[in-house]
Structure 1
Amino acid sequence: MAVGVLAAAVPAEAASDGGAAVNALVRARLAEDAGDPAAALSALTSAASAAPDLPGLRGRILEQAIQAGDLIAARGAAAQLWANGERRFDAQLVLVVDAMKRSDWKGARAFLGGRPDKTGGDAIANLVTPALNSWIDVGAREKEPERHLIAALSRGRLEPTLALEAALVRVAAKQSTEGARLAADTVLSDRTSQLAALRLAATLDAAGQADAAKALRGRTAMAAGGREDPMLLLSGQPVTTARGGAAHWLGLLADGLARTPNGSPKLPLLFARSAYWLGDQDWTVRSALVEALDRNGQGRDAMALLADSRTAQPAALQMRHAELLAEAGDMASAVKLADAAARAEPVARSLLIRFADIARRANDPAAAERAYMGLEATLGDAPDDMSLRGSLLIARAELKLQAGDWDGAEPLMEKAVNLRPGDATILNFAGYSALERRKNVKQSLARIEAAWKAEPQSASITDSLGWAYFLTGRIDDAVPLLELAQRGEPGNAVIVEHLGDAYWQAGRRFQARYTWRAAALLAEADMAARIEAKLRDGLSAATTAP
């Protein structure tokens, strides 16, 4: 918004105050554009002091307060919007959360019913209202607090997460036997229901229903198929209060909405903030807020949230903190924190894999090797474990090759090939790694050909075979394969350079230079220098792609 437009929107009495409102609005817009909600909120508050009746101002204050995590400012803006008849959903949720935080159950219920949906078509309200009504009833010690969730179930197809939430409400309302019975009849059909089931299992344990909790955890593990979802690793805290129950539910919604492709980041952030205001020591809520902040471009706020904890955080959150540090460029701190998180008990393979990824990005082969060795120690003889073992051997071999240690890498690759002789990825890696070093050329070429026969649609394997033919002098066979690979991955600089080299050797010099120029646009420093030399002097042994 231009300064002139802002000035025109400010009432005359505000303009007479030295343009304070205009200046504040300009500062707010700049802060919003810079992704600094705290500064934007401060500036908008100043504008409101100078021009309290400026249209749309309270809504902007509310939005920035939510992003900044300022409940007091959010409550003030929401209350004014509500009093003026602007019954926005974000204002409603803030007012409900604030009332629940103060144990004002009557007020929370009034705000929750303050936006009647006569058609029943408000999808967001349908997600929020039944559960929050039930948790408000728990806080107010009403009879049958789960009735709102049960009614929501009866209006449509069975939703396992709603049924599990009803069971959780029953347990929190000191009806653990009834809660266990309802949970036993619920099918865990999706990820959200599995997350809800783990929270219910922890709550059943705390309520003395150990057998029901064990059975529910077993069903959850079976439904999850061994997947180590970070949220599944964080779902072991019991829910014992109305505020905790509402926080858990809003956190679940925030997590689910954040995973919606092409969705706005504002709605998951609203739910995650609301959940955190109610339960800041709930690990799933903290995780949901971290992801919502990161998705909203507030990565520094996400890191600050993970760095500022009153108690030691679980390993999954420590690992997420390490990943955010890596994204911010602090690789040394990221590796150190990831290493500590990966050593936590019980050992989680997913955390070791994430540690390895951070270590590789940090170019820390010693840390990556620790991660791979830790992973290998978790493996047994199951088919999935054997598959992962082969991948680990290749990953360790790649570290050796990067250090120039062919003698250390070769036995690892051979072991991987013997373990998984039909794996195209392993055959391609072993064959190409040897061929580019001119080792065991005949065997290497045979391995790459076998890999390509298994996965001819793979651009990287097609490139490997085409380049293998180039290196062995079969230029007429190399060119069509490299053209096919380039069509599959036109943005891959390595493939494009390979194709340019093959064109040159085939005598197609104009196409070679054109292709090298395309590769130069994609290349990093070392490759760019090599391509520049080829464009100037033509292909030579010294400038042929490795």
Structure 2
Amino acid sequence: MDRTRISRIALAAALAAAVVAGPAMAQTTEPAAQDAPATGTERATVNVQSLSGAYLAAKLARENRQPGIAADYYDEALRLDPTSAVLQQEAMFAYLADGRFKDGVDLAAKLVDDDTVGKVAKIAVALDALHEGRFDAAIESLKLNDTSDLDSLLVGHLSAWADVGAGRGQEAIRRVEALRGASWFEAFNQYEIGLIAGLTGDVERARTALGALISDQSTAQTSVDAYLAGAEALARIEARAGRKQQALDAVARGLELAPSYEPLTQLEAAIRDGKEIAPPIRDAQGGAAETLYILGQAINRGDGQDVALLYFQFAKAVANTADPKLLTALAGVADRSKQIDLAISYYEQIPEGSPYRRTAELQMGLDLWQAERKDEAKVHLRKAVESYPDDLQAHLALADVLAADKDYAGAVTMLDKALSLAPADAPNVWNIYYQRGIAYERQKQWDKAEPDFRKALELEPNQPQVLNYLGYSWVDMNRNLDEGLNMIRTAVELRPNDGYIIDSLGWAYYRLGRFDEAVEQLERAVLIMPADPTLNDHLGDAYWRVGRTREARFQWNRALVGDPAPEAAEVEKIKKKLAEGLAPVADTATIAPPPAADGGTEAPKVSN
């Protein structure tokens, strides 16, 4: 069986500039389970006969991160019992996470004094007021008690934008300056002050704040997004002031950190061409939305993703616009929640010409593949390569999909082009050589594969995946046995909890007839990944060779029900082993692994 996987290197490269390396911030104190993220576009067909049925269905959907379906069931539950505080609390979160802002605000208005969800309710009510231009009412609603650092920063910045809307620009700046807290406050405060000063006409103050933000790249450790947005905002302010060189200098600071960041590359081209440049922020509502977006990005990982989704939906509601970067952020949350259809729907809304469109095109192609719409994915990514012939990420994305579809020759063509486009010192060039080496090896072109693996190790010494693949391949071909085993052992030392790499070591011992050592390593691998069918199949083979035939059959049976399910050809081979066992070693010329689906030798599985 072909044990390589789609690597998603294209996605990683395409989105690298947007990855946030922010601090470990305190989050809002509402229960994370209630702050459910956005989910698929499917809606519930509500057909429940009781309040308990509707409620349980809603809770299950919420736990599965499907607030759209949850919201539909909460509609029915609230119809049956409109006074239930618990239903109102949970439905509010489902509505807000699903983007049903007005429905969420209607419930929030009833819950502002609730001890459990009052904080989020007050923020929602405040944002509704800010959106409608009731700025003093927004400030009043944002007066929260018992706030975390993140809460304090959020409500302080939102209150400042309400001040701006009320015509109190200097008071807004003083409000932000007075915010004190964790060390990471400073970068966000500088960005907010720069935006407020720029919008209210204090250009010199804006230059000072934004210049301080981007003067030292170490501030990007707090928030890459704030740093890059600061460079973009300063460039726009300078360009609108007629200071073309200073604008280009600001863009250059951002591009030093992220050379291919398209919002800056497009802005740079527009400035050079003398085009009219839009301001960073157009009004107080846009400023509040930017606050929510930037802080949302800073926590948009791990458990913080649930709260980040609320921030993104709040931002979309308060600005009443489908900003492309917000759509990209919402799509990213949907991707990570495995809500592929919703993610695609967000990406599709990003307009042509937007600096976020190219990334959207590539991610849509990968999402289509994940959604088992494989022909569409290939057509989509081929079109992207044609539309962006000099784009490295487009070629990598198509190469990923072609390799996953076992079109290794097509993948090589894309990877050849990718290598011609990639800067020699780019950090992921080793990975392109590695992926091309795999594609060559799968085509039985070892004379081309081995140099690529060696080149990958030259560029990234001690890279465990490359060590694993090259070392196993040598052992499998009975070449460079000592060096190959040492490579696999080194890979295991570097990744001691990687079941696939440990499996490679165990299977290498098996190939060499060292069955006791094979059992030891393969048992370790199965402990780490107990559901993987290949690992269970391998352990079954090793058990058989050491005389543990009952345990061998147990592992083979586990392989048949593994996750992911084994391919049909592998199922037949495992069933034959269950019926007949393995031929004695003396009766076989070599102890060969099961052939790959394409008839080749099995390759070591590649970790994600």
| Conservation of the 8 A alpha-carbon contact between 2:184 and 2:222 | no
Q: Are positions 1:136 and 2:162 aligned together?
A: yes
| Amino acid of the structure 2 residue aligned with 1:451 | M
Identity of aligned residues (%): 21
Counterpart residue number, 1:205: 235
- Measure, in 2, the Cα distance between the counterparts of 1:500 and 1:410: 33
Structure 1 position 150, deviation (Å)? 1.2
Q: Are positions 1:64 and 2:94 aligned together?
A: yes
Counterpart residue number, 2:516: 479
| Conservation of the 8 A alpha-carbon contact between 1:201 and 1:214 | no
Identify the match of residue 417 of structure 1 among 429, 454, 469: 454
Structure 1 range deviating more: 231-240 or 422-431: 231-240
Quick one: structure 1 residues 52 and 449, their matched pair in 2 at CA, closer, same or farther if it must change by over 3 Å? Answer: closer
Structure 1 position 249, deviation (Å)? 1.5
Identify the match of residue 452 of structure 1 among 488, 495, 503: 488
| Conservation of the 8 A alpha-carbon contact between 1:322 and 1:337 | yes
Q: Deviations over 1:88-144 (max 9, x none)?
A: 233323333333333x1xx2332332353455x344431311211222233333232
**SS of the residue 2:281 aligns to:** coil
Structure 1 position 368, deviation (Å)? 3.3
- Measure, in 2, the Cα distance between the counterparts of 1:537 and 1:497: 15
Q: Are positions 1:432 and 2:469 aligned together?
A: no
Q: Are positions 1:280 and 2:321 aligned together?
A: yes
Structure 1 position 234, deviation (Å)? 11
Structure 1 position 195, deviation (Å)? 1.0
After superposition, residues 382-401 of structure 1 pair within 5 angstroms as 382=425, 388-401=428-441
- Measure, in 2, the Cα distance between the counterparts of 1:268 and 1:390: 33
Identify the match of residue 579 of structure 2 among 521, 530, 536: 536
Quick one: structure 1 residues 132 and 299, their matched pair in 2 at CA, closer, same or farther if it must change by over 3 Å? Answer: same
Structure 1 position 68, deviation (Å)? 3.2
**SS of the residue 1:141 aligns to:** coil
Quick one: structure 1 residues 285 and 130, their matched pair in 2 at CA, closer, same or farther if it must change by over 3 Å? Answer: same
Structure 1 range deviating more: 497-506 or 531-540: 497-506
| Conservation of the 8 A alpha-carbon contact between 2:296 and 2:311 | yes
Q: Deviations over 1:204-234 (max 9, x none)?
A: 222235545544444445556x6x7899999
| Conservation of the 8 A alpha-carbon contact between 2:334 and 2:342 | yes
| Amino acid of the structure 2 residue aligned with 1:432 | Y
| Conservation of the 8 A alpha-carbon contact between 2:412 and 2:440 | no
Q: Deviations over 1:381-406 (max 9, x none)?
A: 43x56xx445433422433444xx32
Structure 1 position 361, deviation (Å)? 3.6
Counterpart residue number, 2:358: 315
Identify the match of residue 246 of structure 1 among 275, 288, 291: 288
Counterpart residue number, 2:219: 189
Structure 1 position 352, deviation (Å)? 4.4
| Conservation of the 8 A alpha-carbon contact between 1:534 and 1:543 | no
| Amino acid of the structure 1 residue aligned with 2:196 | V
Quick one: structure 1 residues 411 and 116, their matched pair in 2 at CA, closer, same or farther if it must change by over 3 Å? Answer: closer
Q: Are positions 1:168 and 2:198 aligned together?
A: no
Quick one: structure 1 residues 213 and 503, their matched pair in 2 at CA, closer, same or farther if it must change by over 3 Å? Answer: same
Unaligned runs of 5+ in 1: 1-19
Quick one: structure 1 residues 461 and 311, their matched pair in 2 at CA, closer, same or farther if it must change by over 3 Å? Answer: closer
| Conservation of the 8 A alpha-carbon contact between 1:287 and 1:317 | yes
- Measure, in 1, the Cα distance between the counterparts of 2:287 and 2:578: 66
Quick one: structure 1 residues 243 and 512, their matched pair in 2 at CA, closer, same or farther if it must change by over 3 Å? Answer: same
Higher helix share: 1
| Amino acid of the structure 1 residue aligned with 2:295 | L
Quick one: structure 1 residues 216 and 25, their matched pair in 2 at CA, closer, same or farther if it must change by over 3 Å? Answer: farther
Structure 1 range deviating more: 526-535 or 510-519: 510-519
| Conservation of the 8 A alpha-carbon contact between 1:501 and 1:544 | no
Quick one: structure 1 residues 452 and 96, their matched pair in 2 at CA, closer, same or farther if it must change by over 3 Å? Answer: same
| Conservation of the 8 A alpha-carbon contact between 1:130 and 1:152 | yes
| Conservation of the 8 A alpha-carbon contact between 2:160 and 2:176 | yes
Structure with larger RCO (C-alpha < 8 A, sep 6+): 2
Unaligned runs of 5+ in 2: 1-46, 269-277, 595-608
**SS of the residue 2:321 aligns to:** coil
Quick one: structure 1 residues 249 and 428, their matched pair in 2 at CA, closer, same or farther if it must change by over 3 Å? Answer: same
After superposition, residues 512-531 of structure 1 pair within 5 angstroms as 512-513=552-553, 515-522=555-562, 524-525=566-567, 526-531=569-574
TM-score w.r.t. length of structure 2? 0.70
Counterpart residue number, 2:419: 376
Structure 1 range deviating more: 360-369 or 229-238: 229-238
Q: Deviations over 1:179-220 (max 9, x none)?
A: 222233334434553211222222222223554554444444
Structure 1 position 241, deviation (Å)? 2.6
TM-score w.r.t. length of structure 1? 0.76
| Conservation of the 8 A alpha-carbon contact between 2:67 and 2:94 | yes
Structure 1 range deviating more: 388-397 or 273-282: 388-397
| Conservation of the 8 A alpha-carbon contact between 1:135 and 1:246 | yes
- Measure, in 2, the Cα distance between the counterparts of 1:94 and 1:292: 20
- Measure, in 2, the Cα distance between the counterparts of 1:23 and 1:251: 39
Q: Number of aligned pairs? A: 506
Quick one: structure 1 residues 234 and 256, their matched pair in 2 at CA, closer, same or farther if it must change by over 3 Å? Answer: farther
Structure 1 position 435, deviation (Å)? 5.2
Counterpart residue number, 1:126: 152
After superposition, residues 225-374 of structure 1 pair within 5 angstroms as 238-259=280-301, 261-263=302-304, 265=306, 267-277=307-317, 278=319, 280-294=321-335, 298-309=339-350, 311=352, 313=354, 314-341=357-384, 349-350=392-393, 352-365=395-408, 368-374=411-417
After superposition, residues 81-160 of structure 1 pair within 5 angstroms as 81-82=111-112, 88-102=118-132, 104=133, 107-114=134-141, 116-118=143-145, 121-144=147-170, 145-153=172-180, 159-160=186-187
- Measure, in 2, the Cα distance between the counterparts of 1:470 and 1:303: 45
Q: What do you get for the CA RMSD once the two structures are aligned?
A: 4.2
- Measure, in 2, the Cα distance between the counterparts of 1:287 and 1:392: 26
| Conservation of the 8 A alpha-carbon contact between 1:497 and 1:515 | yes
Quick one: structure 1 residues 138 and 25, their matched pair in 2 at CA, closer, same or farther if it must change by over 3 Å? Answer: farther
- Measure, in 2, the Cα distance between the counterparts of 1:169 and 1:229: 24
| Conservation of the 8 A alpha-carbon contact between 1:82 and 1:91 | yes
| Conservation of the 8 A alpha-carbon contact between 2:54 and 2:73 | yes
Structure 1 range deviating more: 137-146 or 421-430: 421-430
- Measure, in 2, the Cα distance between the counterparts of 1:340 and 1:245: 36
